[in-house]
Chain A
Amino acid sequence: MMPDPTQEGKGQTKEWKPDVDMPVVYFQGVSKSYGRIHAVSNITLGLSGGVTGILGMNGAGKSTLFKLLMGKLKPSAGEIRLFGTDPWKNPAPYAKVGFVPEHEKMHDWMTALDFVSTFARLHGMTRDQANTEAARVLDFVGLSDVANKQIGKFSKGMRQRAKIAHALVNDPELIILDEPLQGCDPLARTTVMNVIRELGKMGRTVLVSSHILNEIERITEQIIILHQGKLVALGNLHAIRERLDEIPHTIRIVGKDARSLAKDILEHPAVFGLSFPSETELLIQTYHFGSLHAELPGLIVNNGHEVTLIDNPDDDLESLLGHLTGGGA
């Protein structure tokens, strides 16, 4: 029982065993309210394995859900289990968890390697182990060449990747990423998405939140949709989308010759309406968004049109939620 200033030798964290009979993440009737405001209400769900996207508008309760799961907040009602243990009472399950918080604030004065290895040591690693593991995960997220640069000098995407690296350093079974794509440039976005997909392939349980449908779509098919603190949909994204196909949808095209393009597009059977908000802008109404969206590039290229932008103003979470909650877009 002597202090170990050399920090050598094998370590061992507290005697804690995960409950194998429970799902990795388990919510039973969980609510969190602040006075009259219900940040999360009556959530019941169990998750084990695979990548799950948590979709919701800002303020839908995604971060609250994660903070409840990470023991940062105490539920007002219900039961939360992380590997079978109540995270509010016992931090031991975090040995198997990696958490990427949404906060942009980081320890800017540290280098990426310092940051990752310092927090790795909180898992009971020695200095050497921590450095080795930190180098490994920084390489995994593609930051190995800037590992010794101060985080304060990083771009947003690099900061996000450093945060992800810090969460992966203990080789966790459950990885929670709160809005990991926020503020990333397209290149970083792709890297982060690849990392998340990779983790899913490795058999980890990954929870990733976003308020942008497209982002989640590119990462996983298994989604949970939160709206005003309630769980409104849970399951395969395609199944949810199929219901969307029967709903009128808008595609916006911006180009030099919007009017001539309209002629070609009007012939497509899926189109039931066109409008021109301005000289260079075309809005297309369709009931079969999926098929039209697939054929649209061909139509444009084959007819030699110049198009600068194709946008789906309806294909966002807001309209999806509108339909799911029965309000209509």
Chain B
Amino acid sequence: MSDKPTIWRALDRKAMAVAEFTLRQQRKRLSTWVVMGVGFVAMAVLTMFYIDSMMREYEAIDNDGDSRDFDMDGYPNGQENLYGTDILDPESHPGLLNPPVAPDDPSKWINEDGFDIDSLSEGSYGYDDDGDCRTEDKTDSQQDTNNNNIPCDVQIYAESYSNNFRINGDNEVDEDPDEDAYAKESIHRAFVLALGKFGFVFLIGIFVPLFMATGLIRDEMSSGTMHYMLSKPIARSEVFLYRILGFLGLAWPYMTGMVVLAALVTGFFGPSEGFFRFGDLGVWMAILLASLLSLLVYAMLFCLLGVLWKHGIILALPFAAWELGMILTTLGAPDAAILRFSVIGWAMNIVDAGAALTWTDTSLLVALGLWAGGNTLGGSEPLTGSLALEIFASDSGLGMTPLVTIVVSVCVMLVQAATFWFIGGALFKSKEID
């Protein structure tokens, strides 16, 4: 670095001084710690519900009933079907075959035919693991109940009037998935998205700036201490910006710490083959990015509202309500045009795009859970976790590739922040300070 004095360097010194001052000032306030503590407790309570749902055993349902033993001969129906013995005749079972076959534990026949579908696109998928469709007892038409001329498969149709897919399987193909594994995987993803979207981006992203940034300029204006800062050769829009920087100096590490903590907890408790779900890190990065940008944009906006009116928090509350409406809209209609007029709509784009990059099969997971193997015996109940995941997972609304969506959304949020800074600085400059 050269020793040449520059205007930039002088600006930079002032920036550091004001930001450092603001950070220390916030740190000395009890209210800061109360707000941050409440945020932490709220997130911790939500995370406890998550841990509980991960520790729980989800009841395995025998959709096709082949774990039962109708003739009480000790051999489950599924095993008898496989060996071609009569499930209703206790004198006919695989134990009488040569060589005799030992009876299976009935639990082996509960979740014996999981989903063999690897892509949510039009085509024929599925495999009848337990052989209750492929059995020779069935006629050709019984093996092709979905009428696609392929026996014992699952057909996925693209619906012509929407982006959705319809799943239609032949009877007793992929009909008995592992409910516990499905529930944990989908609840895990649903929770990560819910905590990221509603916990970090919305709750902390809005309420921490609401309580801490609204008064950044206004409190000092009211108490008279702003005179000290404004009697120095520093432009008011600079003061505005540097105060925000000071606020972010506290709020960003706080948010980062909470997101990292949540990523660790869900990484260790979530379903995974290793000891930690490294695969989720992409989603967490997107959540962190979206929540840090939310803090920035909301801080600029709320500080602006504080400058505008001494009861700026009253202006900020309806805005927070608007943002709540918008985040709910992103869940159902992520491509709604009205979302362009919100902050959170763009933040949600980042989260959803990050999730799309990381978990490429979420929509398949949802579709399978809702289909639930056709539920040969179990009625039409969707699998546990599928509804939750359907609610919290959305497509990013821009209709672009995930990476482009993230880049565009980040740029838009930075422009929003710059705009609020510009307006806030101009308002502050026109304010008389008494």
Residues of A at the B interface (CB closer than 8 Å) are: 1-5, 7, 9-16, 67, 70-74, 91-95, 97-99, 101, 103-107, 109-110, 118-119, 121-126, 130, 166-167
Q: Is B337 an interface residue (CB 8 A)?
A: no
Query: Would A121 and B17 count as touching, CB distance under 8 A?
Result: yes
Tell me whether A94 and B225 are in contact in the complex, defined as CB-CB below 8 angstroms, given that A4-B9, A12-B9 are known contacts. no
Would you give the shortest CB distance from B351 to chain A, in whole angstroms?
Answer: 30
Q: Is B319 an interface residue (CB 8 A)?
A: no
Question: Which one of B25, B234, B432 contacts A72 once the chains associate, using CB atoms below 8 Å?
Answer: B432
Q: Whose C-beta in chain B lies nearest to the C-beta of A2? A: B1
Residues from chain A with a CB closer than 8 A to the CB of B225 are: 103, 105-107
Query: Would B233 and A14 count as touching, CB distance under 8 A?
Result: yes
Query: Would A99 and B10 count as touching, CB distance under 8 A?
Result: no
Would you give the shortest CB distance from B54 to chain A, in whole angstroms?
Answer: 42
Query: Would B17 and A118 count as touching, CB distance under 8 A?
Result: yes
A-B contact pairs, 17 of them (CB 8 A): A9-B9, A12-B10, A72-B227, A72-B433, A72-B434, A74-B432, A97-B231, A107-B225, A109-B25, A118-B21, A119-B17, A119-B229, A119-B232, A121-B13, A122-B14, A123-B233, A124-B14
**Tally of contact residues, B, Cβ under 8 A:** 35
Q: Whose C-beta in chain A lies nearest to the C-beta of B16? A: A7
Query: Would A94 and B224 count as touching, CB distance under 8 A?
Result: no
Q: Whose C-beta in chain B lies nearest to the C-beta of A99? A: B231
Query: Would A101 and B9 count as touching, CB distance under 8 A?
Result: no
Q: Whose C-beta in chain A lies nearest to the C-beta of B8? A: A1
Residues from chain B with a CB closer than 8 A to the CB of A122 are: 14, 17-18, 229, 232-234
Question: Which one of B18, B24, B233, B235 contacts A95 once the chains associate, using CB atoms below 8 Å?
Answer: B233
Query: Would A94 and B232 count as touching, CB distance under 8 A?
Result: yes
How far does the alpha carbon of A172 sit from the alpha carbon of B229 in the complex, in Å?
16
Mark out the residues of chain B between 1 and 57 whose CB falls within 8 Å of any chain A CB in the assembled complex.
1, 3, 5-10, 12-14, 16-18, 20-21, 24-25, 28
How far does the alpha carbon of A93 sit from the alpha carbon of B223 in the complex, in Å?
25
Query: Would A9 and B12 count as touching, CB distance under 8 A?
Result: no
Among A71, A110, A121, residue most surrounded by chain B Cβ atoms (within 10 Å): A121
Would you give the shortest CB distance from B20 to chain A, in whole angstroms?
Answer: 8
Query: Would A124 and B10 count as touching, CB distance under 8 A?
Result: yes
Tell me whether A91 and B233 are in contact in the complex, defined as CB-CB below 8 angstroms, given that A118-B21, A119-B228, A124-B13 are known contacts. yes
Residues from chain B with a CB closer than 8 A to the CB of A167 are: 231
Would you give the shortest CB distance from B229 to chain A, in whole angstroms?
Answer: 7
Query: Would B234 and A99 count as touching, CB distance under 8 A?
Result: no
Residues from chain A with a CB closer than 8 A to the CB of B228 are: 101, 106-107, 119, 166
How far does the alpha carbon of A62 sit from the alpha carbon of B426 in the complex, in Å?
28
Query: Would B14 and A105 count as touching, CB distance under 8 A?
Result: no
Query: Would B231 and A4 count as touching, CB distance under 8 A?
Result: no
Residues from chain A with a CB closer than 8 A to the CB of B315 are: none
Query: Would B231 and A103 count as touching, CB distance under 8 A?
Result: no
Q: Is B230 an interface residue (CB 8 A)?
A: yes
A-B pair number, CB within 8 angstroms = 116
Tell me whether A10 and B3 are in contact in the complex, defined as CB-CB below 8 angstroms, given that A95-B233, A109-B25, A121-B17 are known contacts. yes
User: Interface digits, B390-434 against A, CB 8 Å rule (1 contact, 0 not)?
Assistant: 000000000000000000000000000000000000000000111
Query: Would B227 and A101 count as touching, CB distance under 8 A?
Result: yes
Query: Would A107 and B12 count as touching, CB distance under 8 A?
Result: no
Question: Which one of A13, A103, A130 contacts B233 once the chains associate, using CB atoms below 8 Å?
Answer: A13
How far does the alpha carbon of A103 sit from the alpha carbon of B14 in the complex, in Å?
24
Query: Would B229 and A11 count as touching, CB distance under 8 A?
Result: no
Identify 16 new A-B residue pairs, CB closer than 8 A, beyond the known A13-B10, A94-B231, A122-B18.
A9-B1, A12-B5, A14-B233, A67-B433, A73-B434, A91-B230, A91-B232, A91-B236, A101-B224, A103-B227, A106-B228, A109-B28, A119-B17, A119-B232, A122-B14, A124-B14
How far does the alpha carbon of A71 sit from the alpha carbon of B232 in the complex, in Å?
11
How far does the alpha carbon of A227 sit from the alpha carbon of B6 in the complex, in Å?
47
Among A73, A97, A101, residue most surrounded by chain B Cβ atoms (within 10 Å): A101
Tell me whether A70 and B5 are in contact in the complex, defined as CB-CB below 8 angstroms, given that A105-B223, A105-B224, A122-B14 are known contacts. no
How far does the alpha carbon of A119 sit from the alpha carbon of B432 in the complex, in Å?
21
Q: Whose C-beta in chain A lies nearest to the C-beta of B430? A: A74
Query: Would B10 and A11 count as touching, CB distance under 8 A?
Result: yes
Shortest Cβ-Cβ A-B pairs, 4 listed:
A103-B224, A121-B17, A122-B232, A124-B10
How far does the alpha carbon of A16 sit from the alpha carbon of B7 in the complex, in Å?
11
Residues from chain B with a CB closer than 8 A to the CB of A118 are: 17, 20-21
Residues from chain B with a CB closer than 8 A to the CB of A97 are: 231
Q: Whose C-beta in chain B lies nearest to the C-beta of A97? A: B231
How far does the alpha carbon of A22 sit from the alpha carbon of B5 in the complex, in Å?
29
Would you give the shortest CB distance from B15 to chain A, in whole angstroms?
Answer: 8
Would you give the shortest CB distance from B406 to chain A, in whole angstroms?
Answer: 26
Question: Which one of B8, B13, B25, B432 contacts A73 once the chains associate, using CB atoms below 8 Å?
Answer: B432
Would you give the shortest CB distance from B63 to chain A, in whole angstroms?
Answer: 62
Q: Whose C-beta in chain A lies nearest to the C-beta of B14? A: A122
Query: Would A93 and B233 count as touching, CB distance under 8 A?
Result: yes
Would you give the shortest CB distance from A276 to chain B, in whole angstroms?
Answer: 47
How far does the alpha carbon of A301 sit from the alpha carbon of B39 in the complex, in Å?
74
Residues from chain B with a CB closer than 8 A to the CB of A16 are: 233
Residues from chain A with a CB closer than 8 A to the CB of B28 are: 109
Would you give the shortest CB distance from B243 to chain A, in whole angstroms?
Answer: 13
Residues from chain A with a CB closer than 8 A to the CB of B433 are: 67, 72-73
Among B5, B233, B434, residue most surrounded by chain A Cβ atoms (within 10 Å): B233
Residues from chain A with a CB closer than 8 A to the CB of B17 are: 118-119, 121-122, 130
How far does the alpha carbon of A74 sit from the alpha carbon of B236 in the complex, in Å?
15
Residues from chain B with a CB closer than 8 A to the CB of A12 are: 5-7, 9-10
Query: Would A91 and B14 count as touching, CB distance under 8 A?
Result: no
Residues from chain A with a CB closer than 8 A to the CB of B8 are: 1
Question: Which one of A2, A9, A98 contacts B5 once the chains associate, using CB atoms below 8 Å?
Answer: A9
Query: Would B232 and A4 count as touching, CB distance under 8 A?
Result: no
Question: Which one of A11, A74, A91 contacts B9 once the chains associate, using CB atoms below 8 Å?
Answer: A11
Q: Whose C-beta in chain A lies nearest to the C-beta of B231? A: A99
Tell me whether A72 and B13 are in contact in the complex, defined as CB-CB below 8 angstroms, given that A12-B7, A105-B225 are known contacts. no
How far does the alpha carbon of A307 sit from the alpha carbon of B5 in the complex, in Å?
66
How far does the alpha carbon of A103 sit from the alpha carbon of B224 in the complex, in Å?
6
Q: Whose C-beta in chain B lies nearest to the C-beta of A3? A: B12
Query: Would B231 and A101 count as touching, CB distance under 8 A?
Result: yes
Question: Which one of A9, A14, A98, A99 contacts B227 once the chains associate, using CB atoms below 8 Å?
Answer: A99
Among B8, B229, B231, residue most surrounded by chain A Cβ atoms (within 10 Å): B231
How far does the alpha carbon of A102 sit from the alpha carbon of B228 in the complex, in Å?
11
Question: Which one of A15, A104, A130 contacts B7 once the chains associate, using CB atoms below 8 Å?
Answer: A15
Q: Whose C-beta in chain B lies nearest to the C-beta of A63? A: B434
